Structure 1
Amino acid sequence: MDYKAGLLVFTTLLVGSLALPRPKDDVSVFFQYNANGRIVGGTEAAVGSHPHMVVLSSGLLVRSFFCGGSLIAPRTVLTAAHCIGAVTISIIGTLSRSLRVTVGSHHHDSGGTTYKVASHASHPDYDWFTVKDDIGVLITDTEVAYSSLVQPVAITYDYIDGGVPAIVAGWGRIYDGGPASDVLLELRTTTIDSKDCVELVHQADIEWEFGIHTDPRAEVCTLHSPGFGTCNVS
């Protein structure tokens, strides 16, 4: 089945970047990101089925997982701008020295190979309030060693419309207010036609006063069924 790689990057990025540590390791109060990101209705992914998935963690004495991302090149990790902001020292604009990226792990708190981060960049139009253009990259200090468990995900620049099979994956909360999954989860879904997506979001805005909109040129809509999917609510 032909899964659009660019969509895979985008959806796994969104889910992985909103994941949280288990309650015993939860230091989310120290980070400026939404604590309710989650993947709902997913099943455990096969080990090695998403070799591009990256764990982001921070902490000197006790390390804690706070976000995820996708490996797209030997030294480049695609992640969310809000994740980068969570570990950026605002006064001087540099990343926390304790930030690490871990590749090749099925669990967010063990296994894999860890690398330091040398630099970063976020989308210049990122808006933390509307969560638009929420994308950025981290550059590791050395090249990531590829293996059967560590591979970059290919990126497509093709326009993605409705009816395309897609996969979302991550370690997010498995239900509202619940713990993060210890193992990588996945959910198979399908993209929604851009016009239908705009209309659905518009209707939701009217009904629930979300105050949001969608831009089909920059965003992808997916749907599985009620009770299954990814969400990030306040």
Structure 2
Amino acid sequence: MHASFFWVIPEQTMSLKAGFLFVTLLIGSYAFPAQEQDMSIFFDHTDAQARIVGGTIAGSVPYMVVLSSGVLVRSLLCGGSVITDRHVLTAAHCIEAVFSGGSLINSLRGTVGTNRWNTGGTLYSFARNVSHPHYVRSTIKNDIGILVTSTNVAFSNAVKPAVLNYDFVGAGIPTSVTGWGRTVAGGAISQNLLQLSAVVIDGNRCVSEVRDLAVQLNVRNVPEVEPHLEICTFHSTGHGTCNGDSGSPLMRSDREQQIGVVSWGLPCARGAPDMFVRISAFADWIQQSIR
């Protein structure tokens, strides 16, 4: 379940996708993720089973946000999490995809209070964004951003802010991640919110496994994993995040606290770890940005 940046993209592919971006944002799509969500290392090389692969239908996730765009019909863009009554935490590359002419596109909305991305819940517009000033697209580093809602998010039993955990998280910690994404590469996305459990793995192991699997899977231009900035999780082959999941929250499941943001990875659920922005690495920036 990813939404945007999970894998490296050839320049020709980027040019082609950029050409369709305006039309996609204008008319949207009922059953397919928005084109911009595929502009990511995480999702560009999806296989036929691309999705939050191996997950289950999620229960109540009150902090979950659907980011969508489109004037005539909504298109899924990314996930995110409510962290205050005016702030949604997501990936910087998700914001980049809907930032044009110095501002966010007018059709961008965040929906809360629903497990179905295009049904129910409450939609909020955004006044502005605060993307990390040192976000680097080419290496997908500092891939974190905040969207500021135009009005206060109304909290209820169905809508509550995620509790952020600013502690450094090491190997062995149980996690859960939720999101919407393609159920088949190039096909329809999941209408229902899916959830996957995994465990944090050692940073050095993650570095070597990503490097080795990139060679085996013939995926080029893969960024270097930086454990001080990124959390890596792994379940088993056949389980993992994918298209439409970018920006979604990674939770420490034993404490129900957010520790990461879906950022990038190798082809979906083929034996590689998934990479998340490490919230503890950006504690000062987050706290300053939501004041």
Query: If the TM-score is normalised by the length of the shorter chain, which range does it land in?
Result: 0.7 to 0.9
The amino acid of 2:230's aligned partner reads E
Residues 1:188 and 2:189 aligned together: no
Q: 1:212 to 1:146 in 2, by over 3 A?
A: same
Alignment map for 1:171-182 (pairs within 5 Å): 171-182=180-191
Q: Hey, what's the Cα distance between the residues in 2 that align with 1:170 and 1:31?
A: 13
Unaligned runs of 5+ in 2: 6-27, 243-264, 268-291
* Contact residue 3 and residue 38 of structure 2 kept, 8 A: no
CA distance, structure 2, for counterparts of residue 156 and residue 137 of structure 1: 16
Residue type at the aligned position of 2:35:
V
Q: Percent identity?
A: 44
> How far does residue 24 in structure 1 lie from its aligned partner after superposition?
4.2
Equivalent residue for 2:176, pick from 167, 176, 183: 167
Aligned length: 214
Q: CA deviation at 1:133?
A: 1.8
Label 1:110 to 1:33 Cα distance change in 2 as closer, same or farther (>3 A): same
User: Deviation of residue 156 (structure 1)?
Assistant: 1.0
Cα gap change, 1:65 to 1:137, in 2 (>3 Å): same
8 Å CA contact retained: 1:41, 1:174: no
Q: Does 1:41 align with 2:54?
A: yes
User: Cα offset for 1:72?
Assistant: 0.8
**Separation of aligned partners in 2, 1:32 and 1:122:** 19
How far apart in 1 are the matches of 2:31 and 2:184? 18
TM-score, normalisation: structure 2: 0.67
Query: Is this contact kept in 2: 1:32–1:82, CA < 8 A?
Result: no
Deviating more after overlay: 95-104 vs 125-134 = 125-134
Q: Which residue of 2 aligns with 1:5?
A: none
| CA distance in 2 between partners of 1:180 and 1:107 (Å) | 11
Decide whether aligned partners of structure 1 residues 44 and 18 sit closer, same or farther in structure 2, where only a CA change above 3 A counts.
farther
Q: By how many angstroms is 1:82 displaced?
A: 1.4
1:149 to partner: Cα distance: 1.0
Q: Given that residues 95 and 145 in structure 2 are in contact (C-alpha distance below 8 angstroms), is that contact kept between their aligned partners in structure 1? A: yes
TM-score by length of 1: 0.82
Question: 1:213 and 2:224 equivalent?
Answer: yes
Instruction: Letter of the 1:74 partner, please give it.
Output: D
Q: Quote the RMSD (CA, aligned, Å).
A: 2.4
Correspondence 1:52-131 to 2 at 5 A: 52-89=63-100, 92-131=101-140
- Structure 1: gaps spanning 5 or more residues: 1-14
Residue in structure 1 matched with residue 16 of structure 2 by the alignment: none
1:31 shift after superposition: 6.1
Task: Pick from 140, 143, 152 the counterpart of residue 161 of structure 2.
Answer: 152
Aligned residue number for residue 206 of structure 2: 197
Residue type of the alignment partner of 2:235: H
Q: How far apart in 1 are the matches of 2:214 and 2:31?
A: 35
Match of 2:32?
Answer: 26
